[in-house]
């Protein structure tokens, strides 16, 4: 029967980072702008009204002020009726054109951003109903030939992420030994398909952070980059096994974490030795377990496509 992982075993990679779409809000218009009227220049500086030296600005002796020579008064920032004239008119025209181009580029950038962040790069990996049935643990069979009669497996298929998990005990087939005469080991596997967010930005820091766990030197994890697995991979190990005379006690742990596109995969081995065990060969070394973990990871990832 599968055993639960230890409290500080490296576990799942939560890489849900839902995409955010920025919504730009234009700044408030200048004082005097009529509500609802667009200001000239889009999101640029508002263009001030042009000075008319011939317009009458105060009431004359014969009544209401006369209209300006160039026609009715214009709203601040509006293009005068009859078109644009002279250098000032050209400045207004270029301000309007520049704002239109900037607005188009900004809007196009948002479209491209949404397009890039909406496509999941799953590299052909698919959801499996039973990850234990889709796993290849043959690399462990020489050391642990006794199969787990009741492995633990589940699959959660959600719109944003698929989570697949498998855990199996690894027992030596030693009929002459009592239950405490050999070490207990198990292997656990998790494969996640991220459909809405790219796990790449956090993947490296997540696994390197295990070096920050623990307070004592013998309780520290070691994280090492590994080549040949997906886009990036990290080997995480910890060894707390100690020998006293001919007795070995403690535990050893090996985890291989892989990111291939938007798929993340971890395969971990844990071995335990009791002080009641006889001899120091009752638990595999880190080098032995690392070879098993690497072989099973490569074989299992191939079966998930």
- Return the percentage of the chain with pLDDT > 70, whole number: 55
pLDDT tops 70 at residue 52: no
pLDDT (tens digit per residue) in 138-153:
999 999 998 899 999 9
Q: Write down the H helix ranges in 75-199.
A: 86-117
Q: Are residues 70 and 203 in the same domain?
A: no
Which residue segment(s) compose the domain that 93 sits in? 39-49+66-117
Q: Are 148 and 291 in the same domain? A: yes
Judgement on whether residues 145 and 112 belong to the same structural domain of the protein: no
Could you tell me if residue 14 is inside a domain? no
Rounded-to-integer distance, Cα 103 and Cα 109, Å: 10
Asked whether residue 30 is assigned to any structural domain, the reply reads no
What is the DSSP code (8-state) at residue 305? Answer: -
The answer to the question of residue 89 being in a domain is yes
How far, in whole angstroms, is CA 142 from its chain's centroid?
37
Q: Are residues 95 and 162 in the same domain?
A: no
Query: How far is Cα 136 from Cα 138, in angstroms, rounded to an integer?
Result: 6
Res 10: pLDDT:
59
pLDDT for residue 275: 55
- Residues 228, 195 within the same domain: yes
Structural domain ending residue among the three candidates 85, 117, 149: 117
Q: How many domains does the chain have?
A: 2
Q: What percent of the chain has pLDDT over 90?
A: 46
154, 290: one domain: yes
């Amino acid at each position: 029967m599968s055993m639960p992982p230890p409290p500080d075993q490296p576990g799942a990679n939560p890489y849900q980072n839902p995409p955010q779409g920025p919504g730009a809000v234009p700044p408030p218009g200048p004082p005097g702008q009529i509500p609802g009227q667009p200001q000239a220049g889009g999101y640029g500086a508002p263009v001030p009204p042009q000075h008319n030296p011939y317009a009458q600005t105060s009431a004359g002796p014969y009544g209401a002020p006369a209209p300006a020579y160039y026609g009715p008064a214009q709203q601040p920032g509006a293009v005068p009726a009859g078109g644009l004239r002279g250098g000032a008119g050209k400045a207004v025209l270029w301000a309007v054109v520049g704002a239109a181009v900037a607005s188009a580029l900004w809007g196009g950038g948002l479209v491209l951003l949404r397009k890039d962040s909406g496509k999941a790069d799953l590299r052909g990996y698919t959801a499996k109903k039973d990850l234990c049935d889709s796993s290849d643990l043959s690399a462990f069979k020489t050391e642990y030939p006794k199969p787990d009669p009741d492995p633990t497996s589940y699959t959660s298929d959600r719109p944003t992420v698929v989570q697949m998990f498998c855990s199996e005990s690894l027992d030596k087939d030693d009929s002459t030994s009592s239950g405490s005469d050999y070490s207990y080991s198990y292997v656990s596997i998790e494969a996640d398909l991220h459909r809405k967010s790219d796990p790449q930005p956090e993947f490296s820091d997540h696994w390197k952070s295990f070096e920050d766990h623990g307070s004592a030197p013998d309780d520290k994890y070691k994280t090492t980059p590994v080549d040949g697995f997906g886009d990036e991979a990290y080997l995480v190990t910890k060894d707390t096994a100690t020998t006293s005379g001919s007795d070995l006690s403690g535990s050893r742990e090996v985890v291989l974490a892989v990111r291939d596109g938007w798929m993340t995969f971890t395969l971990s081995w844990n071995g335990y030795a009791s002080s009641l065990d006889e001899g120091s060969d009752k638990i595999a070394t880190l080098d032995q377990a690392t070879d098993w973990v690497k072989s099973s990871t490569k074989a299992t990832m191939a079966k998930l496509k």
